[in-house]
Structure formats: structure tokens, C-alpha cells
Structure 1
Amino acid sequence: MCNTFPAVSQVDTGASQHRIESAAALGTLVSSTASYLTVLLSSPAHASASESLSRHHAQVLWDLADIDARTAGLLARILQPFLSIGILLMIIRIVLSWYPQIPGDKLPWSVVVKPTEPVLGPTRRVIQPVGGVDISPIIWVALLSFINEILLGPQGILNLLQRKIDIS
């Protein structure tokens, strides 16, 4: 057990294991990690502060990677529909951007425009249209596809965690 990280020791379930057994424990870990980082970053700077932060960061990542297979499966089943629907809506928004005369506030188009506009609006302010073409939905398709592949793909993090075998 790592005694230098109080946020982690609150979540420990075994004498030498760091396991996160529930969503509540994951929430506790995240909030206590944020508190620890706030205290660490607000303390006077010294030579070992960045080393301590690096060790803590590595420990938090290790603990998050050590979630049980059931939690990883639950998280995958929750994320899959959201990411798939998000990608589909953004692809439809790409096609809708070719036809600016279509009213986005009327059915059936409002079903696509209303949930995507809160994300696309700020993206448009940061990344201007290129040659009159709105590329913000293209960026979001790429981003959501990347997240989907990293988390839920055949070699994705959550799928690997689901398949891990506990040999302890």
C-alpha cells in the first residue's frame, strides 16, 4: 500500500491492493485526487514538488486502470450508445451543413440540431469555417471516433479491462 497518497488509501480494499469496486469509490478517488492536486499546486514550489506530483499522477492512473472487469463492462455498456449516437448525429450535421436553407428549428431536423448545437457552437467560435465550409462537425466525428476506439475498440482500454484475469 502506498502511504504517501491519502486519496488512494481511502479507496483501498485490500492490504496491498488498490481496487476500485464501485462508481462511488471512483467518485471518491477523483474528488480526493483533485483536492490533493489543489493542495499540492498551491503549496510553495520546491524541487521535489514536481516529482511528488508525477508519482501521485502515476499512482492515480494505476488505480484507475485497476477497476474490476464488471465496472469496466458497465462503463462500456453505458458509453457505447452515447458515442454511437453522438457520431451519427454529427455525421447528419455534416450533411445538414451542405444545405443551410434547411430550418434547424423544425422537425425532423431539430432532433439533430438541438442536441449537437451546444457542442458545435463553441467549436465554431474556436475553429472558423474553412472556405465557407463548417468543419466543426467533422472535428467532432473524428474526436468521438477516436474516443470510441480508445475506450471501446477491440484493443480499447475498457475491453482490455473486461478481459483481464485476476490472478491474485
Structure 2
Amino acid sequence: MDIKVTADDQQQRVFLRLGSLGDSVSDRRALSKPLLAGVQIIQREAKQLAPRDSGFLRSQIIAWTNWRKTDAPLTGFVTVATRAKRMRNGQLKAQRLADKASKGRSSVVVTAFYGRFLEEGTEKMAAEPFMSPSVERVGEQATETVMAGARMVLLQLMEAKL
């Protein structure tokens, strides 16, 4: 079944202005703030549920959005950091900072790559999931937070465009 909607000239002008809503980097950044607030709720829960041995895994659970990547849909992530950031010269940023702090002595950059093994288990180790149960526990609350914040941001962007 096809549905056709027609608009008069004034309505078409409004729709044309709003059609580009969310396309600019500043709009994406504004929309990413409520999204980040929602994924941070999941992040906090995952940190509480993560197995605690040394506490390093908990410190490596991060929340972020891809607001700078304009060719992809705006997405929020909660992940365990598994890579250190590389500088343009190929040196690890954390390694460079650690070397500077240790005044030239060698230092090692460690990441929590093992979070995946804890979440899913291995053939020799039972799974201790902490990410998926956190989404199940606070997923609704995170969704409501994102939707409420996004509504407010969209209204502000619409008022600015009109």
C-alpha cells in the first residue's frame, strides 16, 4: 500500500530546512550528548558487574560515540579498551607518556584484551558475562534517557533552523 502526502509551499520550505537536520558535524555532536549519557548508564552497570581481580578490567570499560564519522549512522558504544592510541609517527601514545614519566626507562602498555574471554568464556574457562547482563538490566533506562535527551536536542535544532 502506497501513501502519498502533499504539502503546500510553506510546508515544503519547512521540510526542506529540516531535511538537513543532523547532517552537520555540530548537529551530530549535539545529538551525541544524550546518546553518550545513555551508554554511560550501561557503562556504569558493566563496571559494577565486571569480575574484580585487580580492578584493571573495570578501569578499561569505556563509553563513546562516533559523532565525528559523518558517513555512518550516529552510534553509541560501550567496550573494553583493547588498543592504545597510536601517534602519527607510529609510537603508542600511552607508551610515549609512560616513557616520559619513567624518564627513559622502558615501560609496557597493557590493555584489557582479555575482557572478551571473560564475557564469552573459552574452552578451558567458563564465561563470566558482565556486558550483556548490564544491557539487560539497565537497557530500558538507557533508552529512555537517550530518547528524552534527543527530543530536547531535536527541538532546539528545529527552532534554530526555522
TM-score by length of 2: 0.30
Higher relative contact order (CA 8 A, sep 6+): 2
* TM-score, L = length of structure 1: 0.29
Structure richer in strand, relative to its length: 2
